[in-house]
Amino acid sequence: MKKSSSGDQIILTVMNILIILGVLAFFAVRLMDSKASFEELNDRDIHNDPLAEVLISDIDLLKRDRLFDNGDGSYSFKGYVDHNYVSYNGIIYRIVEISKDREIVLISNEPITLSPLSQRVSLDKTPLYIWLNAGSDEHSGIFEGTLNGKKEYLTACANDFSELTNIKNAVRTVTGVSGYVSLLSVFQYQNCGGSKSFLNNGTYFWLSNTDNNGFSYYVDPAGDVKPAKDADLMLAVRPVITLKAGLMVLGGSGTLSDPYVINENDPYQAKDIWVGSFVNYSGILWRVTDKDEEGNLILTSLDIAQREEGPVTIRQSHNNVYNTQTGAGYYFNHTYVKNLYRYSDYLTRRDWPLGGSVDGEYFDYRDNYQRSLRCFIYIPTTADMFLSDLDPCRLMTYDPYAHALAYSIVDYRLKSLDVTKEGNYRICVCMLGSLMVSDGTGSREEPYVLEVDEW
């Protein structure tokens, strides 16, 4: 075989060098273009530019856990990110994604309540969806009713209620754009990193899809996605809302201690306090779970009701219907209430919803509104906000077919209990909206302190 001449080798070497230089030049130009683009975006300020554009401008390509370009004009936070916190109405949310239209999808960081969902129908046909979104149904939109300034800040959700045959092949699907509130889809959860992402908060929570048998999917504490086949599951609800495109924030850096702030509250009177805020009254820490039509606050105690010798552990009544004539209802409204500081000046009697579940297998929160009971102190129902704060304790909701049974949430399940036996209670009161806010920020660490206007 004839050996190649040295001249041929030189030519081949030069050609290789030129090819390498050409490739390097191409990537250098791309890098310079990208750098120029990011430098232009980085000039944007959190106070003067839309949040979506600021987030995109802050992409750090060297970080593993960050905002990623999905390749279709949209972006998603992936991995264990720690700079996508948003405060809206005083509730902390996490940014899931930015749409190609620059709308920002948020999911609540904490559970807003606990609810059943395994009714073998799509999410939009369930009582939970009615609880989340206002509509023509009576007592609908309990959560939506707490979204202050929703027309200014929010837009309709792109919902995914699709039935999945294989969650490993889940794709982005939009089955409709309606309602202010939805749940996270299986695709969104997995696209953000699933169990290895900020979305895995170590609790059970519902997703928006069903399997081919109609069972709703949920995330377990390990971060795995599973279908719910037990009707008595009471899992966490983490609402998903969507911020309008072009929305600017008041400030913040996106961390848990310094979230991006959408709106702020500086209440003058109790009626101005947002749902979800914390209140200190009579040495007890309460959470605002609702408001009535007059602006009075519905408060639920964070801790089990106590008396001098320990927790109030008495039987509920001679039957399973909470009332003011026997058992716990009598004690709370005739004895316990007198120990609350100036209760006649701070609290008002209210017509509390009263009813039992009419279906032994599937629970509908609207069953609680069959009639009412007027009193000072009540106990929570399955229609209430922030049930996830509850330690195992009695609920007002009862079984109409078994007069000795009412319900309690234990280990994420709705369990029946014997009301003739002792048990723990969390209590609810209605606080006058005319009270003045004298101190606090409404956080758990600095709850609001209210006082009577003596003038």
Provide the pLDDT confidence category of residue 2 given band limits of 50, 70 and 90.
very low
CB atoms within 10 A of CB 270: 24
- Please report the pLDDT score of residue 340 as a whole number: 96
Residue 208 to residue 126: CA distance in whole angstroms:
11
Which residue, of 203, 232, 261, is where some domain finishes? 261
Q: Are residues 255 and 303 in the same domain?
A: no
- pTM score of the predicted model: 0.87
Q: Are residues 297 and 243 in the same domain?
A: no
CB neighbour list of residue 240: distance below 8 Å, 6 or more residues apart: 96, 105, 106, 107, 108, 157, 181, 182, 183, 184, 208
27 located within any domain = no
45 located within any domain = no
254 located within any domain = yes
Q: Are residues 183 and 289 in the same domain?
A: no
Q: Are residues 304 and 445 in the same domain?
A: yes
Percentage of the chain exceeding pLDDT 70: 90
Q: Are residues 124 and 57 in the same domain?
A: yes
Q: Are residues 208 and 327 in the same domain?
A: no
- Please report the pLDDT score of residue 40 as a whole number: 47
Q: Are residues 256 and 358 in the same domain?
A: no
Cα 382 to Cα 181, 366, 387: the distances in Å are 19, 9, 8
Average pLDDT value for the chain: 89
Residue 37 above 50 pLDDT?
no
Q: Look-up: residue for tokens 């001249």? A: 7
pLDDT tens-digit map of 49-89: 999 999 999 898 889 999 999 999 999 999 999 999 999 99
232 located within any domain = yes
Mean pLDDT (whole number) for 117-132: 91
- Please report the pLDDT score of residue 129 as a whole number: 96
CA angle 229, 230, 233 (to 5 degrees): 125
Q: Are residues 142 and 244 in the same domain?
A: yes
Residue 297 above 60 pLDDT?
yes
Residue 407 to residue 418: CA distance in whole angstroms:
9
Residue 35 above 60 pLDDT?
no
Q: Are residues 374 and 396 in the same domain?
A: yes
Q: Are residues 407 and 345 in the same domain?
A: yes
Q: How many domains does the chain have?
A: 2
- Please report the pLDDT score of residue 3 as a whole number: 47
- Please report the pLDDT score of residue 47 as a whole number: 74
CB atoms within 10 A of CB 436: 15
37 located within any domain = no
Q: Are residues 341 and 362 in the same domain?
A: yes
Q: Are residues 287 and 413 in the same domain?
A: yes
Residue 236 to residue 205: CA distance in whole angstroms:
4
Which residue, of 229, 261, 293, is where some domain finishes? 261
DSSP 124-190: GGSHHHHHHS--SSTT--TTGGG-TTHHHHEE--EE---EES-GGG-----SEE-SS-B---HHHHH
Please give the residue range of the domain that contains residue 407.
270-451
63 located within any domain = yes
- Nearest partner of 274 among 411, 137, 409, 145, judged by Cα: 145
417 located within any domain = yes
48 located within any domain = no
pLDDT tens-digit map of 393-419: 788 887 777 777 888 888 888 888 887
Which residue, of 261, 284, 301, is where some domain finishes? 261
Provide the pLDDT confidence category of residue 8 given band limits of 50, 70 and 90.
low
At residue 429, the 3 state secondary structure works out as strand
